[in-house]
Amino acid sequence: MAASTKYFFSASSESEPTTMRYPLIPVLLLAVLLLSFGWYQGNFQNLLRHFLHTCLAPNTNLLLNESTLPPKTELQVEVDAIFDNIEKLIPNVSFTFFNQTTNGKNSKISIVNPRETYCVGDDFVVQVDMFDHLGNRKTYGGDFLRPRLVSAALGASVSGTVEDLKNGSYHVHFPFYWAGKVNVNILLFYPSEGVAALWRSRHSSQGVIGFEGKYEKFGAEAITKCAFRLSEEDGKEICEYKDPLYEEVFHCYKVPNFTCESLNEMRGYDLQMSYLTPVEQQIFQRSNIGVQLPQISPIMVAQCNTTFNDPKPKCQPGMSSPVPSGYYYNQIWSPLYCNMTVYTTAENFTNCLQGKKLFLIGDSTLRQFIMHFTEGIKIVKYFRYHYKGWAGWSWTLEAMNMEKDIYVSYKRHGFPLEHSAFYYVKEDLYTSRQIDQRGGGKDTIFIITMGQHFRQFPLKIFIQRAINIRKALERLFLRSPATKVIIKTENTRETFAPAERRGDFHGYTQYLVLKEVFQGINVGFVDAWDMTVASATASVHPPGYTFANILSLSFTFAC
Ligand SMILES: *[C@@H]1O[C@H](CO)[C@@H](O)[C@H](O)[C@H]1NC(C)=O
Ligand SMILES: *[C@@H]1O[C@H](CO)[C@@H](O)[C@H](O)[C@H]1NC(C)=O
Ligand SMILES: *[C@@H]1O[C@H](CO)[C@@H](O)[C@H](O)[C@H]1NC(C)=O
Ligand SMILES: *[C@@H]1O[C@H](CO)[C@@H](O)[C@H](O)[C@H]1NC(C)=O
Ligand SMILES: *[C@@H]1O[C@H](CO)[C@@H](O)[C@H](O)[C@H]1NC(C)=O
Ligand SMILES: *[C@@H]1O[C@H](CO)[C@@H](O)[C@H](O)[C@H]1NC(C)=O
Ligand SMILES: *[C@@H]1O[C@H](CO)[C@@H](O)[C@H](O)[C@H]1NC(C)=O
Ligand SMILES: *[C@@H]1O[C@H](CO)[C@@H](O)[C@H](O)[C@H]1NC(C)=O
């Protein structure tokens, strides 16, 4: 497969087959033969790749059989396996009327094994029994709950873990990590019927965001439709933008008089499509999202004889992150499995980053990092950027500190990106490619995130990206094992974000994907999902102490 690694982002239309770049003469002959059958380029390339894989014993019958689909690639098999695991968690429910769906306000909450006194370290279990709007007990599970334990006066909070008993009842587990008066707070984020509908909707199309590409040539411009896949339309040629190594691809309709290479800018726009039925849409009205379940009286937790002062190792890459992954106390995050260093001052971060190169790859939740370094604690200065805040949404940003030899860059993860203004597309390489371009080493730090720009598309697209990033990291660690890599999961966002397009259930499934894909590899795992559930930020750009702790945990791993 060496031939396919040599080029990337190759643009080709059907009139300029990329196959011509394969150097092997027999392959060329075969290509001409196969093209004469009028085959589609996509199929053709897959088959050709299969052929190259198995070129020691090519089976030409197989290649020429039009009814044989190309076999799944290894990558597709991996993607499907993870997808199937997640699909198993999705409730399979159907309903006719809105009044049959779970109503959080009607639910009943009780304490399993109530006691007179509670101690730090106890496993505290709350039972939730769900009812529909008519007061009938629910008989199946799948509701998307968001539980937390809060002591506001202590700046303390932690998420709970939900055990679905699959019959309309749930056990929510809250270990007690601190002494004091604690409040139990459980939200019914979406009812199970909504979860099922969102999963179906997400997989009913290629996505709810459309794309337009801008072709430019000698000053002339033309705009055309782009997508992961495009249907054949009469008289229209299709340009394929393919990364053969990572099997990533998107397409645009070719514009007459422009070449595929002249695709320069891209924009995403809301297709205004919904795959929800009217009765399903009722579930996603504001008053039905994030419904607070009935409260129980605050619990008094005593320290008793329990102490949590056992020394914990410093947070290091390669540690696996449990659920919950930590808790806040005094607004400081305490990971359960390691000791986090609190970085606050400019001096703290300068000491950490001196002599280092920091690559932030992902979305605006990492742009927050470079904004904090330039405009907040001012330890680096932007290079060629004279604005403030979010101006220049789509730009790659660089910032430096010449005295301390600190270099910081922020770059996005590449297609797809939801943004309604045209942005330059050529430099937005896939994250895996951005990793491949770096030598790494002990003074190189990568912080990687993705998620918010994938909620709008079928989950397999996200799974494949995650696996590809892992593959790129495995190679990075072979050549430069001392490179520091931090995976920051996506965080929760606004409760009323449009559920179908940006809602947190889509984000939650992606979070599960990252947890699975990045197990057993030498990365620091920053569970920003858990950190934002625990602090209930409900903001796509977590503010305040939540953001400060995300930074501290990231740089504890990095430094
Ligand atoms: C082509 O594929 C079909 C279905 O898989 C199979 O029945 C048929 O025998 C194949 N033909 C050849 C020539 O391999
Ligand atoms: C969902 O339930 C229906 C009816 O009970 C059944 O026909 C279908 O196969 C189920 N689907 C899955 C994915 O389990
Ligand atoms: C449930 O909602 C449907 C549709 O609005 C309505 O026809 C039905 O009477 C309702 N059921 C009850 C018991 O109110
Ligand atoms: C629900 O399932 C749990 C665990 O299997 C069981 O203990 C409980 O009695 C069930 N509740 C109802 C109402 O069936
Ligand atoms: C393409 O270029 C040719 C020759 O320059 C010109 O005649 C034709 O009008 C152009 N077509 C379009 C769609 O611009
Ligand atoms: C705490 O420990 C002390 C001494 O080890 C013991 O006497 C006391 O009973 C313990 N208290 C509780 C509540 O377990
Ligand atoms: C965490 O590290 C700090 C600084 O090294 C140390 O003082 C503290 O005792 C450690 N805490 C735990 C729980 O290991
Ligand atoms: C952070 O900076 C403050 C003041 O500059 C210092 O007291 C503290 O020890 C530093 N913490 C770390 C972890 O370096």
pLDDT (tens digit per residue) in 83-136: 999 999 999 998 999 999 999 999 999 999 899 899 999 999 999 999 999 999
CB of 420 shorter than 6 A to ligand 7: no
Q: How many Å separate Cα 80 from the centre of its chain?
A: 17
- pLDDT-wise least confident of 49-58, 119-128, 267-276: 49-58
Question: What integer pLDDT is reported at residue 537 of this predicted model?
Answer: 96
Question: What integer pLDDT is reported at residue 47 of this predicted model?
Answer: 43
Best residue for ligand 7 mutational test, from 314, 339, 348 (most atoms within 8 Å of Cβ): 339
CB of 308 shorter than 6 A to ligand 7: no
Look at strands 484-488 and 444-448 and give their pairing: parallel
Question: What integer pLDDT is reported at residue 236 of this predicted model?
Answer: 93
CB of 302 shorter than 6 A to ligand 6: no
Question: What integer pLDDT is reported at residue 428 of this predicted model?
Answer: 86
CB of 351 shorter than 6 A to ligand 7: no
pLDDT beyond 70 at 57: no
Which ligand lies nearest the alpha carbon of 220? 5
Which pair of structure tokens corresponds to residue 114?
């109530």
Strands (E), 413-458: 423-424, 444-448
Q: Which of 559, 543, 286 is nearest to 442 (CA)?
A: 559
Which pair of structure tokens corresponds to residue 255?
């514009």
CB of 119 shorter than 6 A to ligand 6: no
DSSP 73-112: PHHHHHHHHHHHHHHTTS-----SSGGGSB-GGG-EEEEE
Which ligand lies nearest the alpha carbon of 309? 7
Give the distance (Å) from ligand 3 centre to CA of residue 135. 12
pLDDT beyond 50 at 27: no
3-state helix, strand, coil in the chain (%, to 5): 30, 25, 45
Which ligand lies nearest the alpha carbon of 347? 8
CB of 257 shorter than 6 A to ligand 5: yes
Which ligand lies nearest the alpha carbon of 139? 4
Which ligand lies nearest the alpha carbon of 69? 1
Best residue for ligand 5 mutational test, from 254, 257, 258, 262 (most atoms within 8 Å of Cβ): 257
Nearest CA to ligand 4 atom 6: 165
Instruction: State how far the alpha carbon of 171 is from the alpha carbons of 163, 346, 399, 501, 509, in Å.
Output: 5, 44, 48, 30, 21
CB of 307 shorter than 6 A to ligand 6: no
How far is Cα 537 from Cα 368, in angstroms, rounded to an integer? 15
Give the pLDDT confidence of 512-522 residue by residue, as tens digits.
999 999 999 99
Nearest CA to ligand 4 atom 1: 167
Residues with CB under 6 A from ligand 3: 97, 99, 134
Which ligand lies nearest the alpha carbon of 314? 7
How far is Cα 429 from Cα 189, in angstroms, rounded to an integer? 35
Which pair of structure tokens corresponds to residue 402?
């010449």
Instruction: State how far the alpha carbon of 89 is from the alpha carbons of 16, 145, 415, 511, 528, in Å.
Output: 45, 14, 28, 14, 21
Best residue for ligand 8 mutational test, from 347, 352, 554 (most atoms within 8 Å of Cβ): 347
Torsion over CA: 197, 202, 206, 212 (sign): positive
How far is Cα 22 from Cα 298, in angstroms, rounded to an integer? 69
pLDDT beyond 50 at 44: no
User: To the nearest whole number, what is the mean pLDDT of the chain?
Assistant: 89
Cis peptide bond N-terminal to 256, omega within 30: no
Give backbone dihedrals phi and psi of 530, rounded to 5 degrees, phi first.
Answer: -60, -40
Q: Cα(first)–Cα(last) distance of the chain, in Å?
A: 37
Would you mind telling me the total number of residues written for the chain in this entry?
Answer: 559
Nearest CA to ligand 1 atom 8: 65
| Ligand 6, atom nearest to 305 Cα | 1
Nearest CA to ligand 6 atom 9: 305
Question: What integer pLDDT is reported at residue 22 of this predicted model?
Answer: 41
> Percent of the chain having pLDDT more than 70?
87
In the block, residue with structure tokens 């330059």: 424
Burial environment of residue 257 by CB neighbours within 10 A (0 to 12, 13 to 18, 19 or more): exposed
Which pair of structure tokens corresponds to residue 25?
């003469």
pTM: predicted TM-score of the whole model, two decimal places: 0.86
b/e map 111-124, b = 16+ CB within 10 Å: eeeeeeebebebeb
How far is Cα 249 from Cα 46, in angstroms, rounded to an integer? 12
Give the pLDDT confidence of 536-559 residue by residue, as tens digits.
999 999 999 999 999 999 999 999
In the block, residue with structure tokens 């970085």: 343
Which pair of structure tokens corresponds to residue 419?
């943004």
Question: What integer pLDDT is reported at residue 65 of this predicted model?
Answer: 56
DSSP 115-139: -S-EETT-EEEEEEE-BBTTSPBP-
Question: What integer pLDDT is reported at residue 64 of this predicted model?
Answer: 55
Which pair of structure tokens corresponds to residue 273?
């499509």
Are the beta carbons of 305 and 122 closer than 8 angstroms?
A: no
Give the distance (Å) from ligand 8 centre to CA of residue 324. 28
CB of 520 shorter than 6 A to ligand 5: no
Give the distance (Å) from ligand 3 centre to CA of residue 134. 9
How far is Cα 410 from Cα 56, in angstroms, rounded to an integer? 44
All residues at 6 or more sequence positions from 331 whose CB lies less than 8 Å from its CB, including other chains:
155, 545, 549
CB of 66 shorter than 6 A to ligand 1: no
How far is Cα 80 from Cα 553, in angstroms, rounded to an integer? 32
In the block, residue with structure tokens 């304490």: 111
In the block, residue with structure tokens 């800018």: 265
Give the pLDDT confidence of 62-90 residue by residue, as tens digits.
455 556 678 899 999 999 999 999 999 99
Give the distance (Å) from ligand 7 centre to CA of residue 46. 54
Give the distance (Å) from ligand 8 centre to CA of residue 361. 27
| Ligand 7, atom nearest to 309 Cα | 13
